[in-house]
Every structure is written in structure tokens, then in C-alpha cells.
Structure 1
Amino acid sequence: MQLPDLAAINKATLIVRSVMPPTPQYTWPLLNARTGTELWVKHENHSPVGAFKLRGAAVYMDWLKHSQPAVTGVIAATRGNHGQGVALAATRLGLTAVIVVPHGNSREKNRAMEALGAELIEHGDDFQAALEYAMHLAETRNLHFLPSFHPLLVHGTSTYALEFLTAVPELDTIYVPIGMGSSICGMIAVRNALGLKTKIIGVVPTNAPAFALSFREKKVVPALANSPLADGLSCRLPDAEALETALANVDHIVEVGEEEIATAMRAYYQDTHNVAEGAAAAGLAAVLQEVASLRGLRVGVVLTGSNVDQELFIGALNTT
């Protein structure tokens, strides 16, 4: 996959600005004390859909509207954040949005997608099953299928990385959660375009290790995916292009367990009073796992979203 250069990222930024302003990045004293680092947090939880996914959806939908004006509706599969981004970006351009989620998906994310104008369909027991059904429905209902990983989505996610790495250019290391891979590929694109030496480290749940296994084996390795807290990262079949990009640019990948994710969710709330969904807390969980090697460094994490069901969040806060 050809990563976007600075000109392409700046062009994507203009599109993203039509739907949202830049999100902030802060360093929080209590998190610094907890980790022994100068820890900078990129707050993608402050977007209009509570997650970074709107950026990629906006860029993709802008391209679709201009390149295929006959398209009247799109379909995508999601665990929630991608679907919210697609729903908002599609409906604002006058397109219908159909979103497929697995059974048992987050009730609150489902409600948010419907409130943003999406038609919601439940199918299958996990994200991959929902994805395959969405591809089937695209043909039978004459809808444009919007994938969960695509170069244009990387163009979109790279806009938050550009904001982050220009605001805090001297990060020694940055931790990025990996679902299908658009977020970490966007970070790689900007790091490379700016010529920075920042190490990029990927993070996946122990209960959804496919990307980590694939990174280790240097080939796509499917694996079961069932992380109750980090549902947004629960992907069992990595994208080959995302894996290839990660293999060439990522230092290593950290696997974090459910208790570690809960601890990080709780730390975000205690130390910053920000709500982090499990997938979004994975980066901090990895920092806490590797804290001994990070003392005294300037470290970045991406708080990718805040969309977590009430009972899950309360459970994480009450975990000891």
C-alpha cells in the first residue's frame, strides 16, 4: 500500500475540517506520575462521534460522492465506531447508510448509529461474520460496500496523527491500538512524512491476537477474537496491506489482557476524568505493561474513543 504523503494528508485535513475541528493533545500530571514518563494523550474521544473513525469516513465519502455520483447508499460492518463515522459522513451528503453489527453488539453504540440516521442490521456472532454479510447485502441491495480498511481511511486517520506529531514532535515512542489497521497506518504515514524517529508500537487485546500473531509470523494468521472490553479491536482476520505496512514500520506489538485494559480505563478516569472505551484504553494498558523501559521518555498514546456501554464502564471502574 502506498502511504499518503504530506500533500495528500493536508488535502484530507481540509475534508475532515468540514465535519470536525482538531482534537486536543494533553499531558496529564497524574498520568505522568503513574507511568514515570512525560505521557501525551491524543484525545480522539473528543470528536463528534466520540471516536477517530469519522475522519476516515469523511474522506472516503467525499471521494465516493465525487467519483461515483450515481451511488445513493453505502453499507459497512462495524462494532460501532466505524459505523457511527459512516452514518454521519453519509447522511450529511444525502446518502443512505446501512450498518451491519454482530448479535450482542454494544446497545449504546447501536442506538448512536441509528440516531445518526443509519439502518441497523444484526447478523452473526462476531465482526467477521457481520463483515461477510455486509458484503453480501451490498450486492443484493445495490449498495456501495465501504470496507473497514482502505487507503482512503488511512488518509483520514493520518489527519489526527499530523495534528499530534506536529503539536508534540519529539515523542520517543507512541502506542497505537490496532483493529483492522487504519489508525496505525495513518500514524506511520505521518511519522515517515515528517522524517521523525518516533518508535511506533501497536497494541492488540490478548483475546484478539490475530494481528500480533500475523506480525510475528510475517503473514496473515487468523485467530479467534473475543475481547469483551476491547470489542473495537476484536478482529480475527488482519488486512494484508495493513500487515505489510506494519511489518515495515512498527517496532513491535504488545498484547494486553482484559484486566490490564480495565486498569487503563480506570486510570484514565481517575487521572483525567476522561471516559475511555476498552479499545481506546489499550494504548495506556501497553504503556503500563512496558513502563519499566519507558522511564524518563516522552511517550504518546491515542485515546481513540469513549463509546462504552454503561455497565462495562462501571465494571471496569469497580475492578480491583
Structure 2
Amino acid sequence: MTQFADNARSATRALRDLFPETPLQRNDHLSARYGAEIWLKREDLTPVRSYKLRGAFTAMRKVRVAHPDQRQFVCASAGNHAQGVAYACRHFGVRGTIFMPVTTPQQKIDKTRTFGGDAVEIVLTGDYFDQTLAAAQAWCAAQGAHFLAPFDDPDVIEGQASVGVELLEQLGRAPDLVVLPVGGGGLASGVTTYLRAAAPLTDFRFVEPQGGASLRAALEAKRPVALPRVNSFVDGAAVAKLGDLPFAMLDWVAPAKVHLAAEDRICITMLEMLNVEGIVLEPAGALAVDVLPELAEEIRGKTVVCITSGGNFDFERLPEVKERAQRYSGLKKYFILRMPQRPGALREFLMMLGPDDDIARFEYLKKSARNFGSVLIGIETKRAENFPRLMEVMDGAGLKYRDITGDEALAEFLI
């Protein structure tokens, strides 16, 4: 661990050629809420708005030192890793070929091209990331280029460890707890390995998206395993399989220290940080803050550092984030209602709504000459406790309805 710590400090010094340390900010809002000192390590404020630049730069720098003639680098990514590699390529004056899925949003493609400029070529191939990765690795082998893995690489992990080096120097003392988001494991393995050597009394908690719990699965199986299905909403951390090297560095973690964050709950955290603090976080960047309610009792009176890992949020997704947040908090529900096909039936239903209730969606799913028709109706309210009252009124009126808010299949198809 001592050698790793020395290497991490060396990587941190080298990074100063690229960008200054990211801020470590005490957050008064969260500190007051939890009766603790809550600090945010703002990785959303790097030049590419995520910590991924650290690992890409460090790995590229070390390859260039060992092999000065290597001027061609390759990666496969649809997000932050691609942007970090592009930025590093331009800095070092080398060529980068970045493979991205055909389905990558144009905004991410444009940002990668902006960061890399003439130094990078973007290749769009494959509908799914596994196809993109296979194409990138095959092209890399044929061209004799160097492949930059997003997390399963010792030099990348060493670069991500610089987050831990900075936060310890900035805080001036060891924090009681560091909360880390987990995707492929590069950030978590790097930071914890450094801090276990430099601040052995510091404890850790890890947060994964509920639909991409690759660390929890690996710890339980005692080896990295591929998840059968991944929810891609938290795209910066939705990884089907933890990296082999990160797992070897994290196998000491107790499964109880790994928390799972519901994708819809993360949306509430994102909106709160945006509306209250003016901080733009992508879903993965909000993970460490999102878990604080679960840690409330144990962090009271303690010093806690949450790593906000990224802020690459496309505001075209804001309506979806708001929708998910409302549904999770119980402020919005969707029903399939069996509506009588007669004059006045709709007015009677509207009279059942309370003063805080509003119709956000109304659509006939089946209308015929029969006595009843099916209606999809979405209702927003200001307080979650209004819905039990509304359903009680509907029950009393003999209306037949089905709450489909939590039905993932139906919601995906109809909403």
C-alpha cells in the first residue's frame, strides 16, 4: 500500500499540468440536515465535468514515458471516459480513436469531439456497448495502438486515487467517513487503497444504482460476476461486471457497507441539488449524496466526504428526471380507470379530485359503443397523502381502477 500511496501522490502532482485540484466544499444545507460536517468533493468541476480525466491522463502519461513512440490510443465509451481520453489526447498531442455506440446521444458525441479537437477520431459502431467494445479492441490490436480501459487498469486506478490525495490535503485531517459511488470500481478501489494507507481510521460506504449492483454481486460471489440485466438510467455507473483488478482491491469490503440507490430516488436528489444548491449532477454524480438519509444516524456529529463524481447532465433529460422523482415521492400516480360511457361521467370523476390534485395525462385506451371504456389517467398532487383520500372516494363511488405507477412493464409501454 505504501508504494501505491507514493504513486498516487506522484500522479496527483502530474495532474497539476492539466488542471487545478477540484474544490472540497462544506455544504451547509446538508450539514444542517444531518447534524454533521458534510463535504462535497466536486469532481463535477474538472475540465470534462467528471473524475474520468484523472485516470485517462495518468495512464496515457505513463505509457508515453515507457513507450515514447506510442502515439495512438483507443477507448470504447459512450460517456465520461471518452471525454477524458479525448482531452488527454489533445494535451499530449497524440492520436485517439474513440469508439462509441451508434445509439450515443449527439450531445455526448459533440462534447467528446470538442474536448479532443483534431486529435481524435470518433467511430460510431454497434447498438450496444459490448459490440462497441469488441470492435474497439479488434481495431486496436490490428493497428498496434494502446487500449485505455475505463477502470480495469492499474494506471487508471492510480489516477483516480488522486481524488483521495486531494481531499485529504484539502481537509487537513482524516474524515470519519468517505462515501463513494461505484460503477466499474476504478474510483472506489483507487481512493480507498490510498486512504487506507494514509488515513487508516477513515471508514467507507459505497453506493451503487439498484439496477447495476456489480460490487454487491461480486462481494457475495467472491469474484466479479456479470449481472443478467442492467438498468441504464444511471449511465455513469450502470456497469454489468465489476473490473477484476478493482475487485482484487475491494475484496475486503463488507457487503453491508454497499448501499443500493433506487434510480427514481436519485432523481429527487438531483433535483434538490439543482434547485437548492445550484449544483448540476448527473445520476451517477448524485449517488454519494443520495445515500445520506440511510446513513443519517451513524454520521451525526461526524465529518463526511461525499464524492460527486460527475456533472455531465443533458438537460433534455430533465422532464424524465422530474417524472421519476414525482412518482418515487408519491406525488404522481397513473391509473387505468374503467370509465362509464355516458354523459356526465367525466365531470363526476373530476369532482372527486381534491384542491391540490391536477390531471397531467388523460387518454382513452379503448373507446367503443359499449357501456364502459378504459382510460389512462395521470394525476399530480402536492402531498402524497392526498392519494389515499382520492382512492377512498373512487372506491366509494364504485369505480374500477388499477394503479400502474409501479408496474414497470406497463409504465414503460403506456407512459
Q: What is the TM-score of this pair, normalised by structure 2?
A: 0.72
AA aligned to 1:293 is E
Shift of 1:121: 2.2
**Pair 203,124 (structure 1): closer, same or farther in 2 beyond 3 Å:** farther
Partners in 1 of 2:30 and 2:319 — Cα distance? Answer: 20
CA distance in 2, matches of 1:128, 1:32: 41
Q: What is the rounded CA distance, in whole Å, between the counterparts of 1:42 and 1:315 in structure 2? A: 27
Q: Which amino acid aligns with 1:134?
A: A
- 1:188-229 per-position Cα deviation (integer Å, ceiling 9, x unaligned): 122122133111222111111222211222111110454343
1:128 aligned residue: 130
Mapping 1:11-50, distance limit 5 Å:
11-50=10-49
Separation (CA, whole Å) in 1 of partners of 2:52 and 2:229: 21
Give yes or no for contact 2:193–2:249 (8 Å, CA) kept in 1: no
Query: What's the CA shift for 1:125?
Result: 4.1
Which residue matches 1:9? 8
Question: Which residue of the partner structure matches residue 227 of structure 1?
Answer: 231
The one-letter code sitting in structure 2 at the alignment partner of 1:264 is: T
1:127 to partner: Cα distance: 3.4
Cα separation, 1, equivalents of 2:28 and 2:79: 31
- For residue 214 of structure 1, what is the amino acid of its counterpart? A
Residue 109 of structure 1 deviates from its aligned partner by 2.0
Relative to structure 1, the CA distance from residue 222 to residue 5 in structure 2 (aligned partners, 3 Å threshold; closer, same or farther) is same
Distance in 2 (CA, whole Å) between partners of 1:51 and 1:4 is 26
Q: Determine if contact 1:201/1:253 at 8 Å carries over to the other structure.
A: yes
Give the match for residue 312 of structure 2.
307
Corresponding position: 1:297 with 2:265: no
Q: How far 1:90 moved relative to its partner?
A: 1.3
1:61-100 mapped onto 2 (5 Å cutoff): 61-100=60-99
1: distance between equivalents of 2:127 and 2:226? 16
- What's the counterpart of residue 140 of structure 1? 142
The alignment partner of 1:63 has SS state of: helix
Task: Give the unaligned 5+ runs of structure 2.
Answer: 327-415
Question: C-alpha displacement at 1:249, in angstroms?
Answer: 4.7
**Within 2, Cα distance between the matches of 1:200 and 1:232?**
20
Equivalent residue number for residue 202 of structure 2: 198
- Which of the pair has the greater relative contact order for Cα pairs under 8 Å at 6+ separation? 1
Give the RMSD, CA atoms, in angstroms.
2.0
Query: How many angstroms apart in 2 are the aligned matches of 1:229 and 1:40?
Result: 26
TM-superposed CA distance for 1:135, in Å, is: 1.0
* Structure 1, 140-149 or 44-53: larger mean CA deviation: 140-149
Please state whether the residue corresponding to 1:248 is helix, strand or coil.
Answer: coil
Looking at structure 2, the residues matched to 4 and 125 of structure 1 have their Cα atoms a distance apart, in angstroms, of 41
**8 Å contact kept, 1:3–1:189:** no
CA gap 1:39/1:78 in 2 versus in 1, 3 angstroms: same
1:296 CA displacement? 2.9
Match of 2:112 in 1: 113
Quick one: which amino acid aligns to residue 169 of structure 2? T
Distance 1:198 1:311 in 2: 39
Amino acid at match of 2:130: Q
- Residue 126 of structure 1 and its aligned partner are, at CA, apart by 3.9
Q: Deviations over 1:36-76 (max 9, x none)?
A: 43211000111111111111111111111121222221111
**1:287 and 2:292 equivalent?**
yes
Q: Which has the larger radius of gyration?
A: 2
**8 Å contact from structure 1 (residues 220, 243) kept in 2:** yes
**CA distance 1:179–1:130, shift in 2 (3 Å):** farther
State how far apart, in whole Å, the 1-side matches of 2:145 and 2:202 are. Answer: 41
What is the alpha-carbon distance in structure 1 between the residues aligned to residue 3 and residue 287 of structure 2? 26
Mark the CA change 1:225 to 1:287 in structure 2 (over 3 Å): closer, same or farther.
farther
Contact 1:256 1:282 (C-alpha < 8 Å) held by counterparts: yes
Say whether the 8 Å CA contact 2:4–2:158 is kept in structure 1: no
Deviates more, 1:294-303 or 1:145-154: 294-303
1: distance between equivalents of 2:186 and 2:269? 22
Q: Percent identity?
A: 24
Which amino acid letter does the alignment assign opposite residue 152 of structure 1?
Answer: D
**d(CA) in 1 for partners of 2:100 and 2:3?**
30
**1:136 Cα deviation after fit:** 1.4
Number of aligned residues: 319
Q: Secondary structure at the match of 2:104?
A: coil
Stretches of structure 1 that go unaligned for 5 or more consecutive residues are: none
Check the 8 A contact 1:79/1:232 in 2, yes or no. Answer: no
| Secondary structure, aligned partner of 2:211 | coil
Q: Could you tell me the TM-score, scaled by structure 1's length?
A: 0.92
Go from structure 1 to structure 2 and tell me whether the alpha carbon gap of 1:314 and 1:171 turns closer, same or farther (over 3 Å shift): farther
Amino acid aligned to 2:46:
S
For 1:39 and 1:172, locate their aligned partners in 2 and report how far apart those are by CA, in whole Å. 11
The answer to whether the 8 A contact 2:25-2:41 is kept is yes
Number of the residue aligned with 2:329: none
